[in-house]
Chains A and B, each alone.
Chain A
Amino acid sequence: MRQPAEAVSAPTEPAPLLEVEDLRKSFPRGGGLLGRRGTAVRAVDGVSFTIRAGETLGIVGESGSGKSTTGRLLLRLLEPDSGRLHFDGRDLLAESRSAFRHRRRDLQMIFQDPYASLDPTKTIGTSVGEPLRIFDKLARRERDNRVRELLGLVGLRPDHLSRYPSEMSGGQRQRVAIARALSVAPRLLVADEAVSALDVSTQSDVLNLMRRLQRELDLTYLFISHNLSVVRHMSDRIAVMYLGRIVEIGPADQVHLEPRHPYTRALLSAIPVPDPLVQRTRPRIVLTGDVPDPAHPPQGCNFVTRCPHAAPVCHEVDPVLEPDGGGYAVACHMSGVTRERQR
């Protein structure tokens, strides 16, 4: 799936806040005991998209889809092999990695397990205040005042300042991680499986908080998750990834209700709906086989080994992510055909 040169974006919109073009990242694999060179795993294999200021782009995919790697590349927590990253008109990859560190305050990230990303030996106040010390050189007292404000913003009490991560619940810890990310007033927040470790009753709290903060602070989100229901709830647009590539991208309700790529359709069909009568009567697409080894993707279309609609062309030609001019794009030779068949 070669991506088109221009990234896919909605028509007649102001310049996007973030433009990602043909982003690529491979990881060496193998090596093994004898030091043989292994094959490279193309974790992110030519990904392009844009995010407008104030919107939420959701990325959904299963393990090995490259969704988390994509998030890390945007913050240069990993260095891309190639591609272009423009943030607010600036070329992020043109800067040296050390110069980029100062830019990074515009782009922040929260992760699945706040317990792993918060230092267990430091109080919440120290953890949340650390970026303020590094970036803004704030003195202790100013820092503590700002931290109290931030804790209030995410729905925690000022006295949580002196607590340790182990004294808090999972939901509270994720609020702390959000407060810490917000301490440097970022414009784009990348949330990687931010609620996946939480129980459903606390998950909804954190999602509501993220939406409120987005409105109040004018934030832009890249919301990455394996959970399509959560992504759907949070996102204006959704990108579906499979084996390192975007296979479909468009407005959230269209992707959710009228998916055009056979993989997206299978994914939607696989998510059980919380209504037994509906769940037991709706048509199911059960995919055979597992996701192929990303070190050895199939010839032609990446999805061809599991696709119920694969035609001869799919075994030979890698489909391009084709924009339809209306802000929607799908990488499938058969999408026109299967849509007709669906009606």
Chain B
Amino acid sequence: MRFFKNCPFLSIIVLISLGLFVYGILLTAGVLPASNTVNLSVDPENVGVSAAVQDIKARFSNLVQGVKERDYSVDYMPTEYVPDEELVKDLGIDTGKDKEKPSEEEKEKTDSEKKDEEAAARRAERSERMKNGESDEFLKEAFKTRLPENDASDTGDSYDGFYSVGDGYFTGGDTVIIGDSREQGFGMYSGLDGIVSYAQKSYGVHQVFTKKWIDSELGKLTLEEAMALNRGKFRKIYIMFGLNEMGWADESTFDNAYYQLIDMLKYYQPEAVIYVQSIINVTKSKSQTSNVFNNENISRRNEALKVVAEKEHVAYLDLNSVFTDEEGNLPEYYASDGIHIMQKYMYIWVDFLKNHAVLSSGSDTQYVTGYTPEKDVTDIGEGKEAEESDGSGGEESSGEGSTSESSNAVETGTDNSVSGNIEIEDIAPANGENNNNDTTTTGDWETGEGIN
């Protein structure tokens, strides 16, 4: 007792820690209700305290921002997204109930106009292609994925094939990326202009409704608000979440949050193709040093993501098919910190997306350079690269693609495909030279406990 009286500061710290510990125990034991936005993102090494701190932080930020709690605990029910009335009022956009009827009419009008335009464009393009002697089949394929009967409720696959596209697919201002720092890195270093980036360091899937950080003329917005404000603007949405959420104890929370995100996106961006990108694996050294952020856990999360994508009928992109080596690790030289892809290897990602596109509107067909009917045929990237740039061929390693099936791929676009892949040749030789240096020197004095 005398000890505490004589060490006032130490005592305060001890009391705070003890309080956090007890609170955390009560939270994890379910005695006290935890904040829903947090869902006890429990670090397995440190059950009590981190749960408590997460909870307090969430409540505090909700209090400061005046945000309501969101419930991720209920089981998933498709398309249950309902916009918050207050949100609509706050933003002053016509998604509100009172304005619903006129706006719906208006929307339908524009929609039908758009459809007409698209149809015209389609016809024009079709005749153009017919003139060039290309098969009509190609265009049938092109729109197959957008047709309702093709939604394939029995198989769960709405996307039974991917197109190869050029830069134009991404640069029309209707592409948006959402995710954590790795996706942010993609936005910064992909070299594709005009992509809207809603990706931020340490952004989590549970924050899309609550975290106000997106700059706009109305002030800081949440992702939900930004989507409401830009209603119908986006045609391609790429999502990558999962690494920051690895520490969560309850994996179904992650899935539920992901479902709610996609439902929200579908509501505000009904025309958009939504891509769920797999969590990219980390390097071997990173994977070995962490019992949370290792590739085993990432693989498990990716399996869950695949299910999410299937249930939601959206595209799932397995980035690890091009990023990892035979052992399933990210090569050390791709990421100086074991996690974030370096700028000079970003082209791998870009190429992968270019070779795994789904068409969102008629105008997208102009960017198409090829088509692969199989879902995750990775050889398409390899085959092309081997053809076009010898320098970079050695870096891709995705052994297990099924070659016999991909030979069926419609190779319509071999002539046009140059447009989409020009950068590869520029970057590739430089990479070949630098690889060796990187592997030997990184990680010498930096332990790289880092993520985000």
* Binding between chains A and B: no
Q: Contact residues of B with A, CB < 8 Å? A: none
